[in-house]
Chains A and B, each alone.
Chain A
């Protein structure tokens, strides 16, 4: 049997990678430019290890951390946790209806866009600035008041982030149950209560928990600017160069944060079977499935 000669298909040409090179070069050029023009003495960079080493030594090694300050540090940390707790609740409660309204399948394209922009504006302002600029002046100085300011700052900022995430989750739901609620004669509120909410609650509660983890850190920070909690103690310790005390405070912060992270992470995993990675991933990419990153068709 003779083999029929067939023209072998031609090898395709190499596709141009110009776009990718352009983008990568632009980014690299940006980084190089930033490093070159940043006003930093090379001397200071050289003295880095020394400076950090000395600080570390003074905090933890010279006389050891100031363990006698431990009760106060723990108390400060507890206050920070309380601030984060209430702040997160405020954020969660208010963001739920706002987030619902921010979803295209609830308010239509125009309405949801308006709400989204409002939420974006709230999100854009970091808690610290909110606290420093609005709430502390508003509430006045003084122990109890400052914690108050911190709580409000965290609460308001959380509304923004949680609202956006809630809206995105609601947009991703299965419309079936919602239609069923409507077909059974329910009004809009009932539609939301029975059609939408049961589907999205696990994801949303997971966001709340993740937000709580972040707010613990935020609340520690807010103390530094005077909004209550352990940040204040740390700032004072640093200002007066009481480094062993700062060492104890840092240890307390690290331990408490890790504990809260672990508990919250465990809870989140139990609520969502999908595993821990998903919550953060949705928060950042706004998508719950990595597959949806392939925007291109070909």
Chain B
């Protein structure tokens, strides 16, 4: 019996690029052109960039060598920066834990609470830390207090968003089991949900603390305490050698905090 060759399959037509993909690319290109153009946008000019870079490298040169004699004057402000970060993180993360349960689909007591929590959350998150600092300095004066308040709001925004979304994804099996034993809502949350999200909560809290360290160094620029004040002063006088000391200090500080946070993460969980 002769084997019959199968009928030649018709080659499928080459699929055209998805309309969504092409539309997205066009939109992207349009926005970029709009944003960069001289007329509507910021006037981003790559050629000018090159000229500026030469001036920039001059400035960078003035950073070295760092003026180490300036170092002792930074100890006080750095300490204040550190304390601001600690207080704001502790308060912020503490409150955020409870709000997160309200803002998660899984543990919220009723739909209105959920909607209100999430809306408030979005508004709080919309303002960056420095803007909160501006506002609070205007409200209560300069010093570390407005800084702590600003960071507090910032922290609540970040942690609640992250934690509530983590809670949204928990395994609901233990929750059902807890309900089946006759536990009430608080007990169920405490024993069926919290153990599942605790490692994440610790990670988010440490993350926010690191952000705070960096942020509290900066908000001093608007008068909210910490080493940002020094940055403001030194830059006005163009003391780049002092500024470089501050920058190195901040960098080292952040690195140390990151190492400690990794160590803590392992112990606490």
Q: A–B direct touch, CB within 8 Å, in complex?
A: yes
- Assuming the contacts A51-B140, A82-B42, A86-B44, asked whether A132 and B134 have C-beta atoms less than 8 A apart, the reply is no
Q: Is the CB of B127 within 8 A of A254?
A: yes
Q: Is the CB of A52 within 8 A of B35?
A: no
Q: Is the CB of B266 within 8 A of A253?
A: no
Kindly list chain A residues whose C-beta atoms are within 8 Å of the C-beta of B183: none
Stretch at the interface among A96-104, A144-152, A178-186: A144-152
Q: Is the CB of B268 within 8 A of A23?
A: yes
> Residue A224 contacts which of B131, B141, B269 (CB distance < 8 angstroms)?
B131
- Assuming the contacts A27-B264, A220-B131, A257-B126, asked whether A129 and B83 have C-beta atoms less than 8 A apart, the reply is no
A20, B268: Cα distance in complex, Å: 6
Kindly list chain B residues whose C-beta atoms are within 8 Å of the C-beta of A114: none
Among B49, B145, B240, B264, the one with the most A-chain Cβ atoms within 10 Å of its Cβ is: B145
Kindly list chain A residues whose C-beta atoms are within 8 Å of the C-beta of B267: 19-20, 22-23
CB within 8 Å of A: which of B215-229? Answer: 215, 217-218, 221-222
> Residue B169 contacts which of A85, A138, A151, A275 (CB distance < 8 angstroms)?
A275
Q: Is the CB of B31 within 8 A of A55?
A: no
B106 close to A (CB within 8 Å):
no
Min Cβ gap A28→B in Å is 9
Q: Is the CB of A277 within 8 A of B32?
A: no
Min Cβ gap A96→B in Å is 16
B162 close to A (CB within 8 Å):
yes
A252, B262: Cα distance in complex, Å: 39
Query: B-facing mask of A158-170, CB < 8 A → 1, else 0?
Result: 0000000000000
A139, B53: Cα distance in complex, Å: 9
A276, B165: Cα distance in complex, Å: 8
Min Cβ gap A116→B in Å is 13
B250 close to A (CB within 8 Å):
yes
Among B127, B138, B231, B267, the one with the most A-chain Cβ atoms within 10 Å of its Cβ is: B138
B56 close to A (CB within 8 Å):
yes
Stretch at the interface among A6-14, A33-41, A62-70: A33-41
A137 close to B (CB within 8 Å):
yes
> Residue A253 contacts which of B127, B222, B240 (CB distance < 8 angstroms)?
B127
A81, B35: Cα distance in complex, Å: 8
> Residue B251 contacts which of A121, A217, A243, A253 (CB distance < 8 angstroms)?
A121
Kindly list chain A residues whose C-beta atoms are within 8 Å of the C-beta of B48: 148
Q: Is the CB of B251 within 8 A of A258?
A: no
Min Cβ gap B133→A in Å is 9
CB within 8 Å of B: which of A104-148? Answer: 120-121, 124-126, 128-129, 132-135, 137-139, 144, 147-148
Q: Is the CB of A285 within 8 A of B203?
A: yes
Query: B-facing mask of A265-292, CB < 8 A → 1, else 0?
Result: 0000000000111001100110000100
B115 close to A (CB within 8 Å):
no
Number of cross-chain contacts by CB at 8 Å: 208
A83 close to B (CB within 8 Å):
yes
Min Cβ gap B159→A in Å is 10
Give how many A residues have a beta carbon under 8 Å from the other chain's beta carbons: 79
Kindly list chain A residues whose C-beta atoms are within 8 Å of the C-beta of B127: 217, 250, 253-254, 257
> Residue B59 contacts which of A35, A89, A137, A276 (CB distance < 8 angstroms)?
A137
Q: Is the CB of B165 within 8 A of A148?
A: no
Kindly list chain A residues whose C-beta atoms are within 8 Å of the C-beta of B35: 81-83, 85-86
Min Cβ gap B213→A in Å is 10
Chain A's closest residue to B243 (CB) is A133
Kindly list chain A residues whose C-beta atoms are within 8 Å of the C-beta of B221: 128, 132, 224-225
Q: Is the CB of B42 within 8 A of A221?
A: no
14 CB contacts below 8 A, A to B, read: A23-B264, A30-B86, A34-B90, A44-B140, A124-B251, A125-B251, A132-B221, A133-B247, A217-B128, A224-B134, A224-B221, A235-B134, A277-B169, A284-B204
Chain B residues within CB distance 8 Å of chain A: 31-32, 34-36, 38, 41-44, 48-49, 52-53, 55-56, 59-60, 80, 82-84, 86-87, 90, 122-123, 125-131, 134-141, 143-145, 148-149, 161-162, 165-166, 168-169, 199-200, 203-204, 207, 214-215, 217-218, 221-222, 231, 235, 238, 240, 243, 247, 250-251, 254-255, 264, 266-269
Given A39-B143, A253-B131, 4 more A-B residue pairs with CB atoms under 8 Å apart are A48-B149, A82-B34, A133-B240, A147-B42
